[in-house]
């Protein structure tokens, strides 16, 4: 546990960690069952619901699934890595194999390297050299991706383009782990799409283009301004005091500094731990506090929030 926490707060967190809720992880189990049940219910009931209502229901379900996968890669609802992988491997969101997401995201949790291009796999910044070597078109895309609207519209396509480029390179290099991962993910994805085609009114293209990509776009709003370059690592991670439904869709990851400092703390305890020492957490962030996603949308819907160029590298 981080040594900057005062003794009382450390004790409070330890008590939470030993509680019946933490030991049984019943909120995560309940959510896991609920997400699976909701997805199957909408797919199987899509003929009655209709194509567009089914679509509007599936998008938040898939966003919630992405957030739930994040919980599982951090060691919930069980302490067994293989079991969590089994529980979270379903390709409901289509594009990212669970193990790829898990391994990449855990690398991202090296706070000393947050936002560093080429080191932090979730960095949205370019080095000075990369910026200088970019075309006008590429610079325009990076600037648009620094607006909320651009992030929503371009974030998912840009991320998928980067994913395809990097993973095709690994496959061409004959990396055994990459081939096994993509073959497994591919087989499961094909089986899921066959199930959708057989038991729902949604065409496969519809699920791919109008459910999975929009769900990824919504998830991109969460990561739009989670991190900023700063000389102090603890001041690189945001505290976003968002309200419902964002907190539910993102499983309280808007309180991102708390999550980075306490990555094993489950989603349902993040608000309680934050509220117990709100002023101290905000001070630790160096004032890197946002008053909800509405504030970001209002101020930076069409305006870049910062430069795509990393200021120190």
pLDDT (tens digit per residue) in 164-219: 999 999 999 999 999 999 999 999 999 999 999 999 999 999 999 999 999 999 99
Compute CA distances 50 → 36, 55, 62, 199, 208, whole Å: 20, 9, 18, 13, 17
Kindly state the tokens that stand for 222: 């969460």
Name beta bridge partners: 290.
240
Task: Look at residue 6 and tell me whether its pLDDT is greater than 90.
Answer: no
pLDDT of residue 134: 92
pLDDT of residue 5: 75
Q: Taking residues 212-231, report their average pLDDT.
A: 96
Res. 2 pLDDT band, cuts 50 70 90: low
Q: Taking residues 106-113, report their average pLDDT.
A: 93
306 is a domain residue: no
pLDDT of residue 8: 82
Cβ neighbour number for residue 98 with a 10 Å cutoff: 23
48 is a domain residue: yes
> Is there a contact between 274 and 258 (Cβ–Cβ < 8 Å)?
yes
pLDDT of residue 195: 98
Helix (H) or strand (E) holding 191: helix 176-199
Look up the pTM and report it.
0.93
Q: Taking residues 45-70, report their average pLDDT.
A: 97
pLDDT of residue 3: 64
> In this prediction, what percent of the chain has a pLDDT beyond 70?
99
The mean of the pLDDT values for the chain is 95
189 is a domain residue: yes
Domain total of the chain: 1
117 is a domain residue: yes
Mapped onto helix, strand or coil, the DSSP state of residue 95 is coil
210 is a domain residue: yes
Q: Taking residues 45-73, report their average pLDDT.
A: 97
Mapped onto helix, strand or coil, the DSSP state of residue 203 is coil
Task: Look at residue 7 and tell me whether its pLDDT is greater than 80.
Answer: no
Task: Look at residue 67 and tell me whether its pLDDT is greater than 90.
Answer: yes
pLDDT (tens digit per residue) in 72-99: 999 999 999 999 999 999 999 999 999 9
Range of the domain at 41: 7-300
pLDDT of residue 1: 59
pLDDT of residue 158: 93
31 is a domain residue: yes
308 is a domain residue: no
Task: Give the C-alpha separation, 110 to 143, whole Å.
Answer: 26
167 is a domain residue: yes
Chain CA centroid to CA 124, Å: 14
> In this prediction, what percent of the chain has a pLDDT beyond 90?
94
């Amino acid at each position: 546990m981080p040594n900057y926490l005062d003794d009382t707060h450390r004790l409070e967190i330890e008590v939470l960690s030993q509680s019946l809720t933490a030991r049984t992880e019943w909120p995560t189990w309940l959510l896991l069952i609920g997400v699976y049940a909701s997805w199957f219910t909408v797919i199987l009931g899509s003929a009655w619901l209709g194509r567009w209502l089914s679509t509007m229901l599936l998008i938040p379900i898939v966003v919630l699934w992405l957030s739930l996968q994040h919980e599982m890669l951090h060691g919930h609802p069980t302490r067994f890595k293989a079991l969590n992988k089994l529980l979270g491997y379903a390709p409901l969101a289509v594009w990212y194999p669970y193990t790829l997401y898990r391994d990449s995201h855990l690398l991202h949790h090296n706070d000393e390297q947050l936002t560093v291009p080429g080191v932090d796999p979730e960095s949205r910044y370019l080095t000075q050299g990369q910026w200088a070597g970019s075309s006008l078109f590429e610079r325009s895309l990076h600037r648009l991706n620094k607006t909320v609207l651009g992030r929503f519209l371009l974030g998912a396509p840009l991320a998928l383009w980067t994913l395809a480029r990097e993973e095709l390179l690994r496959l061409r290099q004959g990396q055994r782990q990459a081939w096994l991962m993509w073959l497994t993910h591919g087989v499961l994805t094909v089986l899921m799409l066959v199930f959708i085609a057989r038991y729902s009114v949604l065409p496969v293209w519809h699920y791919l283009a109008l459910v999975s990509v929009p769900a990824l776009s919504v998830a991109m709003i969460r990561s739009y301004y989670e991190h900023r370059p700063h000389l102090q690592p603890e001041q690189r991670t945001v505290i976003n005091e968002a309200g419902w439904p964002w907190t539910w869709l993102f499983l309280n990851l808007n309180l991102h500094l708390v999550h980075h400092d306490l990555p094993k703390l489950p989603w349902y305890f993040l608000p309680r731990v934050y509220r117990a020492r709100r002023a101290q957490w905000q001070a630790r962030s160096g004032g890197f506090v946002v008053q909800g996603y509405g504030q970001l949308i209002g101020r930076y819907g069409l305006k870049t929030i910062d430069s795509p160029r990393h200021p120190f590298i």
